[in-house]
Amino acid sequence: MNTESFLEELAALIGPSHLLTADCDTSPYCVDWRQRYFGRALAVALPGTRDEAAALMRLAHRHRVAVVPQGGNTSTCGAATPDTSGRQLVVGLGRLNRVLAIDAGNDTMTLEAGVTLAAAQQLAARHKRLFPLSLASEGSCQIGGNLSTNAGGMAVLRYGTMRELALGLEVILPDGSLIEDLSGLRKDTSGLDIKQLFIGAEGQLGLITAATLRLFPMPTARATALIGVDTPQEGLDWLHRLRDRFGDRLTTFELISLPCLELVRRQNTARVPFMSPWAILLELSDGGDSAALYPPLLECLAQAHTVDGVVAKNEAEREALWALREVLSDSQKREGPSIKHDIAVPCSAIPVFIDEAGAALEAAFPGCRIIAFGHAGDGNLHYNVSATRPGNTDLFDDEERVNGIVYDIVYRHGGTLAAEHGIGQLKRHWLERYKDPAALALMRAIKQLLDPERRMNPGKWL
Ligand SMILES: Cc1cc2nc3c(=O)[nH]c(=O)nc-3n(C[C@H](O)[C@H](O)[C@H](O)COP(=O)(O)OP(=O)(O)OC[C@H]3O[C@@H](n4cnc5c(N)ncnc54)[C@H](O)[C@@H]3O)c2cc1C
């Protein structure tokens, strides 16, 4: 690579003000959200159109420059951070933020990849439609990043992850060629579904520049409740009871452990209406009037002889219940770092996973604190392990051992070590250990086919 001529050509292509080369300008793009990974970039390029991005990729191909796609940079596993060589080009997608089409009749919208998730939700709402992906990072993360990580969140139970929400994709391959498939088709049996290759690929196969996404009717009725239960199994019984009674109207089903409630009460970050070994935050949603959802929900609670339970009577009370869930990550952060696991097991295995992992960790690290909460309706738990006392960091010397204990149990029960946050740099060596070897070999063969020079987001898991 001739760095000087590459950067000159690139500046001419996208405009000098959209090519950042000074350390003070590039440094925010070179550190991840959790500040675990610090890299150094050759430069940060901010193309403004799809054609500029394609020309950029052709130029990088000609000069053999490695490319690190970056959306909102909210990855929690270092997936969008360049290495320390100073030879990788970060490509920020934030200027590709146009709305390309809204097809209300087809319930779809077509957006460029740099549109933030919050802007996409607002756009849908202006058209009286719902775009259901919802994450705490939605103000910053972008549609391209959501697709590349196959993001999930609070409403997967009803609407699915980005894999289910994407109908079409536009992708620039590492050699600069373009796959343009922005159709809004729900059925297409004309061969393999190529777009799925790029969803969840963490920018290692190509640059996503636009997508056609599914929209849904905007729910007008909601019923939200917090229920106390004694065990995760009792929580799971509730999941089945609610699914049987309400079907797809059950939109959210979150499990929250007692240590979570205790830390929120200790810090007074949200209102905790009662303390119980476990709590379930559930939400039903539908068309029509909320009043219609309440009687059957109350009837369900009465039939189960629920002792601890709060049903939100109005929007303010609903927000207060949601706040309890939303402050958890931040409240835990205030009490020091934790070793985080974003795991999933089949829903039916949640109770046994919680029992076995808790016992194994206690045996290995007596007194360690487990902060477990998450999207139990999807089998997905944020299973965070903290040191014996708030503020201590002693456990971090044993981080790999803690991970090994948790992941061994996850895989024994048919689970995964990455349910929604991806692999990035953080978990790549663990993937090697747990992923089916034939599946991993096939993924590598696909990478070799599309990116033989390994220039797309190198240093990550492929
Ligand atoms: C507070 C907080 C809460 C979160 N909650 C959730 C949650 O509930 N559910 C969940 O799934 N995730 C969650 N996340 C993780 C993160 O927000 C998601 O992974 C999000 O989808 C990443 O989007 P991004 O635009 O920030 O991508 P980035 O972090 O910029 O990039 C992520 C990966 O995608 C690649 N990439 C980005 N844009 C493109 C593109 N256009 N083309 C090709 N590759 C690209 C990058 O190279 C990288 O590999 C959370 C993160 C935070 C900080």
- The DSSP result for 125-170, as a single string, is HHTTEE---B-TTTTT-BHHHHHHTT--BTTHHHH--HHHHEEEEE
Q: Any idea which residue has 């970056």 for tokens?
A: 70
Q: At 352, list the tokens.
A: 């046994």
pLDDT at 391: 62
Architecture of domain 221-330: 2-Layer Sandwich (3.30)
Q: What is the pLDDT of residues 30-62, one digit of tens each?
A: 999 989 999 999 999 999 999 999 999 999 999
Q: How far apart are CA 190 and CA 15, in angstroms?
A: 40
- 166-172 and 129-130 as β-strands: parallel, antiparallel, unpaired? unpaired
pLDDT at 395: 82
Which residue type is seen at 407?
Answer: Y
Q: The domain at 336-438 falls in which architecture? A: 2-Layer Sandwich (3.30)
pLDDT at 390: 65
Q: Whose CA is nearest to atom 8 of ligand 1?
A: 153
Report domain extents, the chain: 3-92, 99-217, 221-330, 336-438
- CATH class of the 3-92 domain in this structure: alpha beta
Name the pTM for this structure: 0.95
How many A from CA of 137 to the centre of ligand 1? 8
Closest by Cα among 394, 275, 377, 373 to 330: 373
The token duo for 324 is 């309890």
Atom of ligand 1 at shortest range from CA of 154: 8
The residue nearest atom 45 of ligand 1, judged by CA position, is 203
Three-class SS of 158-172: HHCCHHHHEEEEEEE
The span from the CA of 97 to the CA of 425, in Å, is 27
Q: What is residue 330's predicted lDDT score, i.e. its pLDDT?
A: 87
Nearest-angstrom CA–CA distance, 375 and 435: 23
Instruction: Let me know if the fold of 221-330 is the same as that of 336-438.
Output: yes
Let me know: does 196 contact 188? Beta carbons within 8 Å: no
- How many whole angstroms separate alpha carbon 80 and alpha carbon 72? 9
| Ligand 1, pocket-test mutation among 135, 164, 208, most atoms within 8 A of CB | 135
Q: Which neighbouring-strand residues pair with 130?
A: 216
CA 18 to chain centre: 28
Q: Could you report how far apart the first and last alpha carbons of the chain are, in Å?
A: 23
In the three-class reduction of DSSP (H, G, I as helix; E, B as strand; rest coil), residue 390 is classed as coil
Q: What is the pLDDT of residue 393?
A: 67
Q: From the CB of 33, is ligand 1 less than 6 Å away?
A: yes
The dotted CATH code for 99-217 is 3.30.465.10
Q: What is the pLDDT of residue 2?
A: 83
Query: Do residues 371 and 386 touch, judged by C-beta distance below 8 A?
Result: yes
**Which residue numbers in the chain have pLDDT < 70?**
1, 390-393
